[in-house]
Amino acid sequence: MDTLLNLQALPAGAAIGGPAVALGGITLFLIRKYVEDQKKKSSSFRPPPEVPGLPVIGNLLQLKEKKPHKTFTKWAEEYGPIYSIKTGSNTMVVLNTNDVAKEAMGTKYSSISTRKLSNALKILTCDKSIVAMSDYNEFYKTARGHLLTSTLGPNAQKRHRIHRDTMINNICEQFHAHVEMYPSEAVNFRKIFQSELFGLSLKQAIGEDVKSIYVEDLGTTLSRQEIFKILVIDPMEGAIDVDWRDFFPYLKWIPNKSFENKIQQMHFHRQAVMKALIEQQRKRIASGTEINCYLDYLLSEAKTLTEQQKLMLLWEAIIEASDTTLVTTEWAMYELCKDPQRQKRLLLEVQDVCGPDKLTEEKLCQLPYLAAIFHETLRKHSPVPIVPLRYVHEDAQLGGYNIPEGTEIAINIYGCNMDQRVWESPDEWKPERFLNAKDNTAELHKTMAFGSGKRACMGALQAMLISCVAIGRFVQEFEWRLKEGEESNVDTLGLTTHKLHPLFTIIKPRN
């Protein structure tokens, strides 16, 4: 108020001259701040309800099981779809309902676009040097453009079609070979699918699948399995590793050597392997052989990026292609194995549309039940249950609540997809719920499995093409049932909601 009165008292002549302009500027700034503060005080927006926790550590103990999406969903039943929790000294607002989640990812994105990375992720992403973990800045826009043009955009996906077809054929061949050799033994679905998916991700990223590689910085030759572990498995595990200093930033000066060494070693190994893979491909390019892949594209087009940035972007393309599509397809096959009637319904649809021909991508638009199975699997088993954290960098309002600057935002996709106000019997796997959808794209966003708004998943098209053709072809060529005792294996693990135990199924070729 004083500031306002002071301004009113200013003589008109004071507006003349430099110092006066400066003074006027400061005063105006103070007024604006005062008015904004008053607005906030008088606004009907309140802070979100708080989940009670303990002094100092807040709700950390209640989150010690590594499945926060489930705990968040449980809390939503008691405290409502938006609430705040304390993770040590940090405040986090958790969104568990579609409307508000979409608001945060869409209309309010400009206030909530900054990524909040854990100490582990800071090291593993070389401080936001990959598309998915970067803030909305020039690097993001440049890198996103490269990834879409060379790999994930619709035209690029057309050019990479051959890799997807080869992958699905290889998997089916391996299933047939398994049945011939061990007709009554269950097949390890994940082992075969994961290995082929990794092959596809390498072909798209660096131009070829590899059996082994000599890694100079490690002084040893690594097998394909070891490369997979270093590039995919270890960083996925590292990404959810907890450094207690994440929760108490004011204690970051205290060393946590065992944590740092572990993550730094993962980073070092990943760096060494990526360098070796890139070096090998540089020799290929030098010998005059070009391949349509991300690496060749980056080397010739991405003039403004550093070598380290290119390395990180290539690694990103490998890890992202190798995981979530497997998670979705494995869960879909698990559900279909358990449900002979729905399996039959899918088979009839595929037979009706494809006749004696093998299902191909061109046929997908005529297979609504297959699409419904894909969406329902994404809903019930959201592979990315919580959107990578962001924080509010200017005061914002969400869902009718005031969210102050500095608050972390967790969007609980799993919680949104289990919301009883949106989904009838959310615990049931019921693809039919997607059959009445008029518009496939709208449904894709309804589950929000791919996020929403400016930062929605860039690999959604690839995931859909691979997963849908795979599910359709597998059911077209085999009859599926679970191995004895497999039904109760529904536990999950990790950053993405992997089935804890790989899927083991009994398959019988159809004639």
The neighbouring-strand residues paired with 482 are: 505
DSSP string, 246-303: GT-GGGTTS--HHHHHHHHHHHHHHHHHHHHHHHHHHHHHHTT---SSHHHHHHHH-T
472 interacts with ligand HEM by CB under 6 A: no
- Supply the minimum distance, in Å, between the C-beta of residue 225 and ligand HEM: 21
239 interacts with ligand HEM by CB under 6 A: no
The neighbouring-strand residues paired with 46 are: 401
What x-and-dash track marks residues 444-463 binding ligand HEM by CB under 6 A? -----xxx---xxxxx--xx
377 interacts with ligand HEM by CB under 6 A: no
Binding piece for ligand HEM, criterion CB under 6 A, among 20-28, 323-331, 427-435, 468-476: 323-331
Neighbours of 74 (CB within 10 A): 12
207 interacts with ligand HEM by CB under 6 A: no
Under 8 Å between Cβ of 300 and 150: no
CA–CA dist 401, 391 (Å, integer): 15
Q: Is 337 annotated as a binding residue?
A: no
CA–CA dist 130, 270 (Å, integer): 14
3-state secondary structure (DSSP) of residue 499: strand
Map the footprint of ligand HEM across residues 219-238, applying CB under 6 A: none
Binding piece for ligand HEM, criterion CB under 6 A, among 17-25, 76-84, 250-258, 321-329: 321-329
> Is the Cβ of residue 148 or residue 291 nearer to ligand HEM in the bound state?
148
- Supply the minimum distance, in Å, between the C-beta of residue 378 and ligand HEM: 6
Contacts of 91 (CB under 8 A, 6+ apart): 84, 85, 404, 406, 407, 408
- Supply the minimum distance, in Å, between the C-beta of residue 422 and ligand HEM: 17
- Select from 153, 128, 148, 125 the least CA-distant residue to 138: 128
CA–CA dist 346, 369 (Å, integer): 6
Under 8 Å between Cβ of 464 and 397: no
350 interacts with ligand HEM by CB under 6 A: no
415 interacts with ligand HEM by CB under 6 A: no
- Supply the minimum distance, in Å, between the C-beta of residue 145 and ligand HEM: 11
> Is the Cβ of residue 58 or residue 207 nearer to ligand HEM in the bound state?
207
Map the footprint of ligand HEM across residues 77-106, applying CB under 6 A: 105
- Select from 424, 459, 460, 428 the least CA-distant residue to 444: 460
Map the footprint of ligand HEM across residues 378-407, applying CB under 6 A: 378, 383-384, 387-388
| Secondary structure element (H or E) that encloses residue 481, with its range | strand 478-482
| Phi and psi, residue 55, nearest 5° | -60, 150
> Is the Cβ of residue 117 or residue 354 nearer to ligand HEM in the bound state?
117
> Is the Cβ of residue 60 or residue 409 nearer to ligand HEM in the bound state?
409
131 interacts with ligand HEM by CB under 6 A: yes
Neighbours of 442 (CB within 10 A): 9
CA–centroid distance for 256 within its chain = 28
- Supply the minimum distance, in Å, between the C-beta of residue 327 and ligand HEM: 7
> Is the Cβ of residue 79 or residue 391 nearer to ligand HEM in the bound state?
391
Annotated binding site: 457
- Chain contacts with ligand HEM (rule: CB under 6 A): 105, 131-132, 144, 152, 320-321, 324-325, 328, 378, 383-384, 387-388, 449-451, 455-459, 462-463
Annotated binding site for heme: 457
